[in-house]
Structure 1
Amino acid sequence: MRGYFRRLVTARVDRVGIGAGLRWKLSAAIAVVGALVALVLSLVVHNAARVSMLDNARDLADERIMIAQRNYELSGRLNFPNTKIDDPRLPGELREKVEAGRRATYVADRSGAPDIWAAVPLKNGHVLSLHSGFTDRSSDILTDLDQALVIGSIAVVLGGSALGVLVGGRLSRRLRKAAGAANRVAKGETDVRVREAIGGVVRDETDDLASAVDAMADALRLRLEAERRVTADIAHELRTPVTGLLTAAELLPPGRPTELVLDRAKAMRTLVEDVLEVARLDSASERAELQDILLGEFVTRRVAAKDPDVTVRVVHESEVTTDPRRLERVLFNLLTNAARHGRPPIEVTVEGRVIRVRDHGPGFPEGLLAEGPSRFRTGSADRAGRGHGLGLTIAAGQARVLGARLTFRNVRPAGAPDGEPAEGAVAVLWLPEHAPTNTGSYPVLA
């Protein structure tokens, strides 16, 4: 049940999709938006300033051409700079307006600074024109403005990037805390609250996510606890009638029917005891009673008493602190699984704190290798002819109480493809370097 709860919560946490570069993505997004805004504003300000300067230059040229016109009409001479009579370079559009009897100005765009023209018709039918360019002062002002706009744009981009890093970093830290707390919940730490783990004074969407995960975890916990209680109650209620059935079967007269009834009654009693044990392990109330033992000697004696045909090899002896009763339960369940679903020879290897149990059968089913042991699921038909799927579930649960790690794999020839039949199954029990505490120890499954 704990593994089921862990898979459910972990699957939902994975869907959150917390990217490792959230702060950098947010910073890049702000920088790009800031750059676009700065570019648009710079173009608008540059064009507005240029148009304003050109309008001022045209107004100035218009004032000058009127002064030059009065001076020419009074004195008959051109004594104003940059003025000419019937200038052949006069733009055609401006000439048409003047010939229509209008005073006008004109801006001729060319590479570099624009040309400013002003023209007015004279009484004698000629055209008086003034030709000037953009003043150096105006060009310098526009250049300085462009430089200021460039510097401002760079400052906006850098400032936006820094802001994105700060905001994204805060959001990323909160999401990482939420993911870490959710993973702790998935491992069975029922007292962890994601909302409390992320902390913070300001409420945002992260708090909503944390509250949703907490609510989901509470709902799953209540549902699994209800299922566990129902399972335990049913098994407990079945214990008495099953015991009575077994006692009554032993009173039957000898014969083949009696043997069949006794065999099924014993199998039912074993099933009820296994279900009760699974329920106790799911409740996380089991605690290890620790003793110091020599692991190789312990395994050798227990395996010899269980099945003398099993080969035990002690590669390296080691003294461990563990619960011998629970360790024996794990070892016997692994041997029973190997004898029931595998093929001989069955080999047990002890190397330091590691115990390996190998058979030479068809291997573990892919579902067990991917998701771990599951109650009442014995896998594929070639390895599931008998049993209820509780043996490995109990072994994994007792290993957690010991603070140990139980892994499963299949043995295949070197370089063989995945579809190649296995040459055996190997269950590996990794005992911890330090003994579990009195509150239990639940290591992460690799």
Structure 2
Amino acid sequence: MTWRPWPRGLRARLVVAVVLVTVLGATAAAWASARSARSALVDSARQRLAQTVAGQIGAIAPELTYPPDQGTLDRLRAAVGPNTLVTYRNLRSADDTGTEPVTGALRSAVRARHLIATQVVTAGGRPFLLVGTPIVITAPDGARTSSGIEVYTGRDLTDVEGRVDDLTRSAAYTAALALPLAVLLALLAARSVLRPVRELRDTARRLAAGDLGARSPPQGADELADLAVTVNEMAESLQRMQADARRFAADVSHELRTPLSTLMAVVDVLATAAAGMDSDARESSQLAIAETHRLVALVEDLMEVSRFDAGTARLRLEDVDVAGAVRGCLRARGWLDRVELVAPDGVVLRLDPRRLDVIVANLVGNALSHGEPPVRVQVSVSRDQVRIEVADSGPGLPQDVLPHVFDRFYKADTARPRTPGSGLGLAIALENARLHGGDLTAGNIAGGGARFTLRLPRNQEDG
């Protein structure tokens, strides 16, 4: 099984993407806020400490003697405070805290620029702000010269880091609180964005199912609206093409009726005279007769389909004994000895007997032609409907054929295009079932064989 970490549904992907963007944005904002707050707090601490050290040194500087001795350095260190180191050439004055607030980089910065320099370091697992400054002697004429005394002091930044941590936690809590809102907004956005997508999907499904009147009203002026307009234009084009094709079939079949009637009369004469012909002429005559009958059947089926398409097909309802009607259909075609019929007597249904005959004849003829014996017709009754099942014992319908068995002119075996029949029989049977308010479905039997099930309602009324 392949593991797919990314959601496959469009809604899920949209929600996850929005939530991820929100979380990443909140995290980035929290991180940037923490850095900015830390920088601001450290800068503030640096300025305060530098001002404090400068003030302390300025207060005691007039009392110092130059060149200084060890006592001078000690007084200066004491005036600045703890964590302080004062140097002058080889002299040093440091407190006993164990922390020597000076690094090579800080010392180099102080000596190179002769100005106050600062540096943040970590010592003993705690952050410290180091300040280093030289003491400069100002002459009466304003000239400034270095005294050689350097003062280094450090201040613990633990409280500053604590405040930064508090700000970071506060930003994280804010981001966490924003997560449910982000999910809600993502769901609302997904619903708004996917609604026209779902409508387009439903329209496409209806078009695929044959409902060429399906349309998707465009909403707004975005790409989805453009797509809806394109789909509607495509559906209108298909609808026009279908209407033209149906009109052409109806016109052609209607125009063929008269010449075919004449041709059938000639065929009847030819059939009478065929017995006295030689074998080659008789075979040709029989082929012409069979093909003429096939052409007549095709035209009749086209006429019937055109009536369904035009909505002019009508039922002529009668009270019909279903078992007797099915048995009569089989007897008229000489199938009684080839088909097993299981039908209870006394099942009377109001329907069009001619159209029921067409349905049963198509289903049984299809089973005899494409299935294997035995073929079984079973009639069953429930409170709401009558079921007529036609099953054979052949290999059944292939899975790729099942969705198309009721399509017009569909042939499962394209290598045999001239199979008997017009290719419209099952389509006409389905239309007749629907005209009765029923349905016709196809499937396979578990043990093998195809099964067609006709369902007719028991409350059919005259229309």
Same fold (TM over 0.5): yes
CA displacement 1:49-85 (0-9 Å, x = unmatched): 2112222222222222222222332234333433442
Contact 2:301 / 2:422 at 8 angstroms: preserved in 1? Answer: no
- What pairs with 1:317-328 in structure 2 (closer than 5 Å)? 320-328=349-357
Query: In terms of Rg, which structure is larger?
Result: 2
- Which of 209, 213, 229 is equivalent to 2:227? 209
How far off is 1:240 after superposition?
Answer: 0.5
Question: Residues 386, 361 of structure 1: CA spacing in aligned structure 2 closer, same or farther, 3 A cutoff?
Answer: farther
Q: Determine the C-alpha separation between the residues in 2 that align with 1:195 and 1:180.
A: 12
How far off is 1:244 after superposition?
Answer: 0.8
State the TM-score, normalizing by the size of structure 2: 0.76
Question: Residues 73, 320 of structure 1: CA spacing in aligned structure 2 closer, same or farther, 3 A cutoff?
Answer: same
Contact 1:113 / 1:139 at 8 angstroms: preserved in 2? Answer: no
Q: Determine the C-alpha separation between the residues in 2 that align with 1:188 and 1:92.
A: 85
Question: Residues 315, 57 of structure 1: CA spacing in aligned structure 2 closer, same or farther, 3 A cutoff?
Answer: farther
In the other structure, the counterpart of 2:387 is 354
Question: What CA RMSD, in Å, does the superposition of the two structures yield over aligned residues?
Answer: 3.4
In the other structure, the counterpart of 1:224 is 242
State the TM-score, normalizing by the size of structure 1: 0.78
Structure 2 counterpart of 1:230, which letter? F
In the other structure, the counterpart of 1:110 is 122
In the other structure, the counterpart of 1:3 is none
Q: Does 1:174 align with 2:175?
A: no
Q: Does 1:32 align with 2:14?
A: no
Most deviating of 220-229 and 103-112: 103-112
Question: Residues 133, 362 of structure 1: CA spacing in aligned structure 2 closer, same or farther, 3 A cutoff?
Answer: closer
Q: Determine the C-alpha separation between the residues in 2 that align with 1:53 and 1:36.
A: 25
- What pairs with 1:235-254 in structure 2 (closer than 5 Å)? 235-251=253-269, 254=273
Q: Does 1:428 align with 2:453?
A: yes
How far off is 1:222 after superposition?
Answer: 1.0
Q: Does 1:153 align with 2:175?
A: yes
Specify every segment of 5 or more residues in structure 2 that has no aligned partner in the other structure, as ranges.
1-6, 65-74, 88-93, 95-99, 136-145, 276-281
- Per residue, is there more strand in 1 or in 2? 2
CA displacement 1:377-424 (0-9 Å, x = unmatched): 4433689743332222322232232333323345574xxxxxxxxx64
Contact 2:396 / 2:449 at 8 angstroms: preserved in 1? Answer: yes
CA displacement 1:136-163 (0-9 Å, x = unmatched): 3x44542342233213322443332221
In the other structure, the counterpart of 1:275 is 302
Most deviating of 379-388 and 228-237: 379-388
In the other structure, the counterpart of 2:81 is 81
How far off is 1:30 after superposition?
Answer: 0.9
Q: Determine the C-alpha separation between the residues in 2 that align with 1:316 and 1:63.
A: 114
Contact 1:101 / 1:121 at 8 angstroms: preserved in 2? Answer: no
In the other structure, the counterpart of 1:15 is none
Contact 2:31 / 2:168 at 8 angstroms: preserved in 1? Answer: no
Q: How many residues align?
A: 406
- What pairs with 1:5-404 in structure 2 (closer than 5 Å)? 21-76=9-64, 77=75, 78-82=78-82, 83-86=84-87, 87=94, 88-100=100-112, 102-110=114-122, 114-122=127-135, 125-134=148-157, 136=159, 138-139=160-161, 141-189=163-211, 191-195=213-217, 202-251=220-269, 254-256=273-275, 257=282, 261-307=288-334, 308-309=336-337, 310-314=339-343, 320-352=349-381, 353-361=386-394, 363-364=396-397, 368-380=401-413, 385-404=419-438
Specify every segment of 5 or more residues in structure 1 that has no aligned partner in the other structure, as ranges.
1-18, 414-422, 439-446
How far off is 1:354 after superposition?
Answer: 1.7
